[in-house]
Structure 1
Amino acid sequence: MTVVQSAGVAAGAPPVPGRRRRRHRYSDRSGYLFAAPAMVLASVFSLLPLALAFVYSFAEIAPLSGRISWVGFDNYTQMLTDGTFYRSLVNTVIFTVLVVPVSMGLGLALAVLLNSVMPARKLFRTIIYLPLVISGVAVGLIGTFFFNETIGVVNKLLAAVALPGVPWQSSGVPAFASVIIVTLWIRVGFTMIIYLAGLQAVPVELQEAAQVEGASGWQRFRHITFPLLGPSTFFLLVMSVIYSFQVFDIVFVLTNGGPGAATEVLGTYAYKTAFGAARDQGYGAAIGVVIFFFTLIFTVIQWRTNRTRDEVA
């Protein structure tokens, strides 16, 4: 009897339930171990600073001694009468409204172009994506090289064709335009790559069937390609809005929020408030918390809208 049972187990009998449970527990533990380094980094560099910013937003911190005095909601009520905060908020919204659709439109157009059969496709993809690899500070410095009023490349080219130079640093609208142009230079490569991945996932059979039925190229793109790019569009919309509300490095290096507060955004204003001459870190933390909640509310709304759309479909 024992020999027969042993032969049955060796021939592929189902494993013992206790052994299966032990194997599952070991798999669960190994998954946690693999995820632990990323969780620790996220906790130390993301969750902990976010929690401290939320706590400090209810306090007033002495610049020299570091003494903390709890002031409740005073930092938040101060925003209601802060003209610079409103100007920064409006500038951030305008920046988002201009950058997000333009970067997504240009990225989609470039993705469609570079997804077709054309020479040197890989080279053009690399050139367009390359600015995203460079740090934001370096890109801001490159922007100052182009948009400086006196020695900038753009004004020198205008002078070469007998046209007046543009006051990139001394006038609000040109300064804001320079920030948007440099930002688009960075973001277009990111949107192009995401849309390019989405385009390559579109089934070729659908395109061929529509072409056989007589659909034009625009009709195939409008009714087949673009709807199938919905997940890519949703991802880019959320990520682009989050980036626009948290933009800091390009504005800080290129214009430092000037002239005046013409290009001041929430990120630069929070930094100047917390680490500038005032050293009002409690109020700066409150501005950071407001930025977080703006992006969180937008992300939740977009997520619920996208989920509802998918369920209806």
Structure 2
Amino acid sequence: MGRLDTSDAQTSRAPVHRPPLSIPKNRRWNRRTRRDAWVFAAFAAPNVLLILLFTYRPLVTNFYYSTLDWTLGAATATNVGLGNYVEFFTSPDASSVLGVTAIFTITTVGGAMILGLLVALALNQRLKGTTFARAVVFAPYVLSGVGVGLVWLFIFDPTYGVLSWVLRTVGQASPQWVNDPKLALLMVIIVYVWKNLGYCAVVYLAGLQSVPAQLLEAASLDGASSLRRFTSVVLPLLSPTTFFLLITSLLSSLQAFDIIRIMTPSGNGTSTLIFDSYLQAFGSYNRAGYSAAISVVLFAGLLVMTAVQLRFVERKVHYS
């Protein structure tokens, strides 16, 4: 038998490299693509327009107002450039306002997160009534800040309040919560932490329920105690939840207004940046330009703290 010539067969089986087909530009932008683009624009345009109109336009306008010496309601204003900012940072009240803002923010954020984690650990147990307890803990967060402030103002009232009645039954006099600046700040902090710890507790509870039980069982078999399992296993896995709560709680505390306004209308020792901005514009000063400058300072602080958290704090977050 003769040898088979396979050269033709191998040649016919060799892969043929063809250049990729190029779609003409007029076919890429066909009727269906144009229709999808118009549908997207129809849905997105109203939202973008509302955001530009009610978020960015007031922000830019506030920047402009901060450069004016303008009394609220006056028909004319004087351009002072950065004069309002210089006045704020050189005034004797600036250190007090910034200090009160720092104390209020740190204590409310830290208190709500720590107590919320402890409450979440208690609610994570398999006991009867935990569903009802979760609803009770979360309820204050959804209540109106005005209503919460009015109820707690009655509780702290030194003459007719519930707390004063309890103290009188044990032979103690009620402190002057509203008149003493330090006690007024403490009073507002207590109420704000009470109102927001339910939010932290529910978010932490969701994080606790997502912790794999296999890891806890493996750590238990290795002889780790309950405290060691919590610090070495649970807390690192809760770092995304903690990071989320840190950002949201920080932004919320820096913008807290309703409870402070109801419980201390004159800002006696409770003048945070946002409340001082309100008092400067709508209090006895009527200084709209100066108030706008304080608002810009608050906005810059929020922006810087959020950027720092996203840049440095997120490095310690374990997402897996």
TM class, shorter-length: 0.7 to 0.9
Sort the Cα spacing of 1:64 and 1:258 in 2 relative to 1 into closer, same or farther, 3 A.
closer
What displacement does 1:236 show? 1.0
- Spell out the pairing of 1:211-222 with structure 2 (5 A cutoff): 211-222=220-231
Verify: 1:293 aligned to 2:297, yes or no.
no
- Of stretches 211-220 and 295-304 in structure 1, the one that deviates more from structure 2 is 211-220
| Pairwise CA distance, 1:38 | 4.2
The answer to which of 39-48 and 113-122 deviates more is 39-48
Match of 1:264 among 250, 254, 271: 271
Over the residues paired in the alignment, what is the CA RMSD in angstroms?
2.4
Q: Which residue of 2 aligns with 1:84?
A: 93
* Stretches of structure 1 lacking an aligned partner (at least 5 in a row): 1-15
The 2-side partners of 1:110 and 1:193 are apart by 9
**Residues 281-309 of structure 1, C-alpha deviations (whole Å, 9 max, x = no match):** 00000000000111110110010013444
Residue 5 of structure 1: aligned partner: none
Which residue does the alignment assign to 2:210? 201
State the 1:150 CA deviation.
Answer: 1.3
The 1:239–1:213 alpha-carbon spacing in structure 2 relative to 1, beyond 3 Å, is same
Question: Is 2:153 the counterpart of 1:147?
Answer: no
From 275, 283, 289, the equivalent of 1:282 is 289
8 A contact 2:239–2:317 mirrored in 1: no
Q: TM-score w.r.t. structure 2 length?
A: 0.85
Bigger radius of gyration among the two: 2
Assess if the C-alpha contact under 8 Å between 2:146 and 2:258 holds in 1.
yes
CA distance in 2, matches of 1:90, 1:53: 24
**Alignment of 1:101 onto 2:110:** yes
Q: Is the 8 A contact 2:267 2:275 kept in 1?
A: no
- Decide whether aligned partners of structure 1 residues 216 and 276 sit closer, same or farther in structure 2, where only a CA change above 3 A counts: same
Distance 1:94 1:62 in 2: 31
**Shift, 1:188, TM fit:** 0.2
The answer to whether the 8 A contact 1:112-1:196 is kept is: yes
Please give the alpha-carbon distance, in whole angstroms, between the structure 2 residues aligned to 1:192 and 1:138. Answer: 22
C-alpha distance in structure 2 between counterparts of 1:132 and 1:32, whole Å: 37
From 172, 176, 181, the equivalent of 2:181 is 172
Task: Output the CA distance in 1 between the equivalents of 2:46 and 2:212.
Answer: 38
Give 1:288's aligned amino acid: S
> Contact conserved, 1:143 with 1:182, CA < 8 A, in 2?
yes
Structure 1 residues 224 and 274, CA gap change in structure 2 (3 angstroms) = same
> Residue type matched to 1:146 in 2?
I
What CA distance in whole angstroms lies between the structure 2 residues aligned with 1:51 and 1:23? 39
Is the 1:251–1:257 contact (alpha carbons within 8 Å) kept by the matching residues of 2?
A: no
Structure 1 segment 1-313 matched on structure 2, within 5 A: 18=27, 23=32, 26-27=35-36, 29-259=38-268, 262-309=269-316
In structure 2, the gaps of 5 or more residues are 1-22
Query: CA 1:258 to 1:278, structure 2 compared with 1: closer, same or farther past 3 Å?
Result: closer
Tell whether the 8 Å contact from 2:138 to 2:198 is kept in structure 1 after alignment.
yes
TM-score (norm 1): 0.86
Q: Say whether the 8 Å CA contact 2:137–2:198 is kept in structure 1.
A: yes
Say how many residue pairs are matched: 296
Give the Å deviation of 1:23: 4.9
| 1:87-123 residue CA offsets vs partner (Å, 9 max, x unmatched) | 1111010111211111110001111111121211111
Taking a change above 3 Å as real, the CA distance of residues 195 and 19 of structure 1, as seen in their structure-2 partners, is: same
**Whole-Å separation in 1 of the counterparts to 2:42 and 2:228:** 50
Q: Deviations over 1:262-286 (max 9, x none)?
A: 2211111100101122211000000
